[in-house]
Amino acid sequence: MRLIILSVTAASVLAGCQSTDFMTANYKGIEPISYTVLPEGPRYVANASTGTTEDRARVYEIFDNPSESKLLITATKSTAIMSGVAAGVIGYGVSTDAPPVAYRDAAEAWLASQNRKCTARDTTSVAKAAYEVRYSCEQPPQPKT
């Protein structure tokens, strides 16, 4: 069992290095923006079995690179920790990471919140709970000369 945990940990570290290299190469100097996607229905739900209240909102960090019409969208650290290595290795159940479409939808919602008429064209996984979304935007009408 120890060998399996060490192997998974080593793989996670290597994947982390690759995602850091990717971010440095593509998003260096871009500050992340926190964006919350509210669920349909109530945001907070009581869990009777644990006696806790669960927040059903999904919070993302968005690194926008408008000059290349792409952004990096990641689950926040708390979301990533909950659905990351501990859940898989220690056996706390299946990962709770959202599917790629959730990242695409969050990216489009954020772009709309910035008054940008854009559509996601491609959503690519770049690391655990991190996707790069390429988008295209409507060009504003050009004044007649």
The domain ranges of the chain are: 2-11+23-137
Percent of the chain with pLDDT over 70: 68
Smallest Cα–Cα separation from 124: which of 106, 95, 108, 101?
101
Render pLDDT for 3-48 as a digit per residue (tens, 0 to 9): 333 333 333 333 445 566 777 788 999 999 999 999 889 999 998 9
Asked whether the whole model's pTM tops 0.75, one would answer no
* Residues in Cβ contact with 99 at an 8 Å cutoff, skipping those fewer than 6 apart: none
Average pLDDT for 120-136: 93
Token pair of 88 as six digits:
């898989």
Token pair of 68 as six digits:
């290349």
